[in-house]
Amino acid sequence: MNIFMHELKAYRKSTIIWSISLMAIVMLYMSFYPSFVKDSEQFMKIMEGYPEAIRNAIGVNLGNFFTILGFYCFPLTFVTLCGAIQAMNLGTSIVSKEVREKTADFLLTKPVTRTTVLTSKLLASLISIFITNIFFWAAASFIMQQVKTDDFSFKLFMLLSLTVLFVQLMFLALGIMLSVLMKNIKSVLTVSLATVFAFYFLGMFFDTSGEEAKRYISPFKYFDTTYIMNHSSYETSFLIAGAVIIILATAASYFVYAKKDIHSV
């Protein structure tokens, strides 16, 4: 419990910063919605000039872009990208910061198992992510009520909003696995940004290929907002694939960490 509270306190500042950032993104972009609806024809002509792959990458679907939920998918893309960086940063720092700050041997001399240590750190990271999402959902719900021109489905809103959390959980699991596999991560932010943007640009590239199977490579492509809008549900195969990634990456992290040699100072 002491480890959990210590980690939670350590993440307090970053949780506040990320929460404010995601809230600012969604509130800023959604505040433009009335202007977009007012000049929809002009904006439609502008959007039609962009390649379809670019429109998909930034969450623009011309079929429903000028509905409030369709427009919401646009800032949601950037929120998901930022949320993935937050989660990857948390996951990558879970173990690596102890090695980098030369406190790993001190921590492991405490009368707790390695499983307890990793679980406490993981729970603190999850709490940080959940808090960030709660504030984001609250801000998104508030601003949409203020700028809406018609009623919208709250169920669809929540399905779209929850995609941020699901993507974050995948990147958190991947980050933890990297944290225990790599001997010494000198810069957590560098590794996090490189990993997240690599997956993001891979997703953009696969949009141009048109091959459905390649979507499994990038977590950013697991939740197609157009499909969610049309079917009011997620694609089952991608939902299962995401769960498998989280479970396998987390299980591998526990297995490796339990047997890993921790170098003393």
CB atoms within 10 A of CB 77: 19
pLDDT given for residue 224 in this prediction: 87
For CA atoms 222, 150, 132, 126, the dihedral sign is negative
Task: Assess if residue 19 is contained within a domain.
Answer: yes
Task: Assess if residue 264 is contained within a domain.
Answer: no
Tens of pLDDT, residue by residue over 29-61, are 999 888 877 776 777 777 766 666 666 666 666
Task: Assess if residue 165 is contained within a domain.
Answer: yes
Task: Assess if residue 265 is contained within a domain.
Answer: no
Tens of pLDDT, residue by residue over 172-213, are 999 999 888 887 777 888 889 999 999 998 887 776 666 677
Percentage of the residues of the chain whose pLDDT score is greater than 70: 83
SS3 98: helix
CB atoms within 10 A of CB 254: 17
Task: Assess if residue 223 is contained within a domain.
Answer: yes
Task: Assess if residue 99 is contained within a domain.
Answer: yes
Task: Assess if residue 101 is contained within a domain.
Answer: yes
pLDDT given for residue 160 in this prediction: 95
Task: Assess if residue 53 is contained within a domain.
Answer: yes
> Band of the pLDDT at 151, cuts 50, 70, 90?
confident
pLDDT given for residue 102 in this prediction: 58
H helices of 148-231, where?
Answer: 154-181, 188-209, 225-231
Domain that holds residue 41: 2-259
As for how many domains the chain has, the answer is 1
